[in-house]
Amino acid sequence: AQRYPNLPGRTPYAISVVSGSTIARETLTSLADLTGQVAGMTVTNLGPGRDKILLRGLSDGAFTGQAQSMVALYLDDVPITYSAPDPDLRLADIERVEVMRGPQGTLYGGGSLGGVLRIATRKPDLDRYQANVQAGLAYIWNGGVGDELEATANLPLIPGRVALRAVAYLDSQTGYIANPTLGLKHVNGSKREGVRATLRAALSPHWTATLGLTTQSINNSDTQYGLRRLGPRLRDNAVREPHDNDFDDVSLTLAGSGGWGRLTGSVSRLSHHFDSRYDATSVATLYGLRGGPAAFDEEKAIDLTVGEVTYATPSEHRIHGLVGAFGSTGAIHLHSLLHGLTASGLTGYDEQRRDKINETALYGEVTFDATKRLSATAGLRWFDFRFDTDSRILQTTGQRVFSGSDNATGLSPKILLSYAARPGLLFYAQTAEGYRPGGFNTAGRIGQAFDVAGAPARRYQADELWNYELGVKLRGWDDRLQARVALFYATWEAVQSDQYLADGTAFTANIGNGANRGVEAEAALRLNDQIDLRAAALLNDPQITRQNLDFSSRHDASLPGVARTSASIAADYHRPLPHELTLRLQGQATYVGASYVTFDADKMHEMGEYLGLRGVASLEAGDWTLAATVDNPLGAHANSFSFGNPFLITRDQIITPPRPRTIALRMSARF
C-alpha cells in the first residue's frame, strides 16, 4: 500500500494486512467481512454495494453524496472509487488486502483522509496450469436459502512468457425483512455476479505488462432496514426500494525493475453506475403530489480515466525514495427524480447534474537512513484540481439552472521518523496531511435559499486533516508474536459532510472543525503449532470541536457513524487427523460500541452497542476443503445502522438489524 514493497511488521506505518489464505479459510467474501480482522475499521450497513468504509474513527457522516470518499479504495494499482460507496467487489482469488490509516494525501491524494484500502489480486502464473472451484449454500433463519459459485483458472498461453488468469462468480442472499403493507416477506434479497480477467506478459526478464478487466453487477430487490415502532425486521413502506450497482474497470500496467530501481506506469478506465429508489410518499405533498405513493429515483454514473507513473529507487541505498505523477479526468452524472406512482405519474422534482473533474499531481518521498537503526522520511505532493458543475432542476412551478467552476491548488506534506531499537522492535513518529477539494450544492426545491443563515452554502469548501502519530511494532518469540500499538491525534478543519434537507434532497456542508485522539492496537500470537490467537481494538474520542452555526450539530457531538470503542478477538485451532485430514475450528467475536447516525446526538438516531459472533469449522483433505460457517449464532436483533431512507430521517425511527442467524456450507477444490 505504500507504493513500494515492504513487510507490514517492519514498515513504520499503521498498516494491516489480511492474507488471501485467511480470506479463503474464514470464508470472507466482502470488505465488510474484514471489520473483525482490522482494528478501527467501520462499515455502514446500508446494503450490498451501498456501504461506506471508515477507518480509525474519522467519519464525515454516515451518508454518501457529492463529497469525495474518506477512504481511497484501490484494486491493485488503480483507484476504484470517487464520490461513491464501496462497490462491494467479491474477494475472489485475492492475494491480500492492505489497510493503511490516513491521511495518505502525499502518495494517494484527495479522498484518502481516512486512509487507503488496497485489494491485491493474485497475478497470472506464467508456468503452471491451475483451477479452483467452490460452491456453497447458506440458510438464513426465518428467511431462505442463498447460494454461491466461484471458479478460477490460470492458463499459461505461452509458457514462461504469457498467461491468463480469470475468475468468475455469482452469489445470492435471501431476504429477511417483511413488509406486511405490501403483503411481502423476505423483500431484501440480493444477487451479485462478476468476472475478473488478467493477462500478463513477461516482456523481458525485468519488464512485465499486465492487462486487467473487472466487471460486476449487484441487484438488490429492496433495502434492509426496519422501523422500531413495528419491529426490527418489519416496515410498512408504500414503495419497494431496489438498488442496482454496476462496476466496470479496465487497466493496463507496465512495470520494470532492476539494479536501478522500480518503474511502474498504469492507466485505467473506471465506470461505476448505480441507481436507487426510495419511498418518498411521506414528502409527496411538499412536491405537489397527492393521492398515492411516490418514489424518489436517483441514478449516478461515475466515469473516470486515471493515469499514474511512479519510480522507486533501490531501497538498499542510504538515501532512497520515490517520485510520481498522477492525472485523472472524468465526469459524474446525477439524475434525481421524484414522481408519483399513480396512473397520472406526475413529476414533482427532476434534477440533471453533471460534474467534470480534472486532477493532476506530482509527488515524492525520500528516506535517509542516518544509521542502521534511525531513518527519516519526508514527502510532499503538489496537486491541481479543477471542476465544473452544471445543474438543471425542473418542477411544475418552473426551473432553476446553475453553472459553476473552480479550482484548487496546494501541497500535502508528510514527515516520518523511525528507530529500530533492536531486531523485532520498531518505534516511529509521523505527521501527515490530507485534503479533499470543495464543490457546489445544487439540489433542493425551487425557492431553496443558499448562502443565508440556516441554509446550505452554494459552494462548500475544501477540508484538511492533520494526523500526529506515535507507534511501536513488536516481533518476538521466534516471530510467533506480532503486535503493534499506535497513539494518534488528528485535527480536521472545515469538515465536509453529506447531509439531507428537510425535503429529503442532499447537500454537502462544512459542519465545523473536528478532532480525534485515541489508541489503536493489533496483535497476533501463534500459541503453539495448533492454536493461533488474534486481537484488535480501537479506543478513540472523535468529536466536533467548533461547530458551524448554520448547521444543526452539538458542539460536543461525536463524529457520526463511528463508535468510541470497538474490539475483536479470534482463535484458530487446527490439528491433523488420520487419513491425511486436517480439522480446523475458528471463532471470532467483534464488539461495536454506541454511536449516532447524525451530528445532533439525538437518541432517535442512536445505534451500535452490540456483539457480533462468528464460527467456522472446516475439514481439509489435500486439495479439497469442506467448511461450515455460522454467523450471528445467538440471533441478535441489535441496531447496526439507523439510516435507510433520506425521507424518514426525522419522520420515523429506522433500525437495521444484523443478518439473522445464518448457517452456510461451502466445498472447494484445487486442481
Q: Report the pLDDT averaged over residues 267-287.
A: 97
Q: Report the pLDDT averaged over residues 446-463.
A: 94
pLDDT at 8 > cutoff 60: no
Summary count for the chain: helices (H), strands (E) = 2, 36
Strand partners, 575: 583
pLDDT confidence of 1, banded at 50, 70, 90?
very low
Strand partners, 116: 72, 100
Q: What is the pLDDT of residue 7?
A: 52
Amino acid symbol at 491: T
What is the per-residue pLDDT across 591-608, written as a single tens digit (0 to 9) for each?
999 999 988 766 668 899
What is the per-residue pLDDT across 513-560, written as a single tens digit (0 to 9) for each?
999 999 999 999 999 999 999 999 999 999 999 988 777 666 667 899
CB atoms within 10 A of CB 549: 10
Question: Among candidates 35, 48, 164, which has minimal Cα distance to 97?
Answer: 35
What is the per-residue pLDDT across 78-101, written as a single tens digit (0 to 9) for each?
999 999 999 999 999 999 999 999
DSSP 61-94: -S--SSSPPSEEEEETTEE--SSS--------SE
Query: How many residues are recorded in the chain?
Result: 671
What is the per-residue pLDDT across 489-507, written as a single tens digit (0 to 9) for each?
999 999 999 999 989 999 9
pLDDT at 120 > cutoff 70: yes
Q: What b/e string do you get for 476-485 counting C-beta neighbours within 10 Å, with b at 16 or more?
A: eeeeebbbbb
Cis peptide before 103, with omega less than 30 degrees from 0? yes
pLDDT at 471 > cutoff 90: yes
Q: Are 589 and 543 in contact (CB under 8 A)?
A: no
pTM of the model: 0.95
3-class DSSP state of 667? strand
Question: In the chain, what are the domains?
Answer: 8-670 (2.40.170.20)
Q: Are 558 and 517 in contact (CB under 8 A)?
A: no
3-class DSSP state of 274? strand
Q: Are 196 and 248 in contact (CB under 8 A)?
A: no
CA distances from 671 to 132, 152, 162, 563 (A): 6, 10, 20, 44
Lowest mean pLDDT among 9-23, 223-237, 454-468: 9-23
Exposure of 660 by Cβ count < 10 A (0-12 exposed, 13-18 middle, 19+ buried)? Answer: middle
What is the per-residue pLDDT across 238-253, written as a single tens digit (0 to 9) for each?
999 999 999 999 999 9
Question: What proportion of the chain, given as a percentage, has pLDDT over 90?
Answer: 90
pLDDT at 29 > cutoff 50: yes
Q: What b/e string do you get for 219-239 counting C-beta neighbours within 10 Å, with b at 16 or more?
A: bbbbbbbbbeebebbebebbb
Q: Report the pLDDT averaged over residues 561-569.
A: 96
Tally the C-alpha atoms within 13 A of residue 353's C-alpha that lie toward its C-beta: 28
CA distance 391 to 335: 10
pLDDT confidence of 10, banded at 50, 70, 90?
low
pLDDT at 2 > cutoff 70: no
Q: What is the pLDDT of residue 638?
A: 93
Q: Report the pLDDT averaged over residues 189-198.
A: 98
- List, in order, residues 6 or more apart from 473 with CB less than 8 Å away: 9, 10, 12, 425, 426, 428, 482, 483, 484
pLDDT confidence of 456, banded at 50, 70, 90?
very high
pLDDT at 153 > cutoff 80: yes
3-class DSSP state of 641? strand
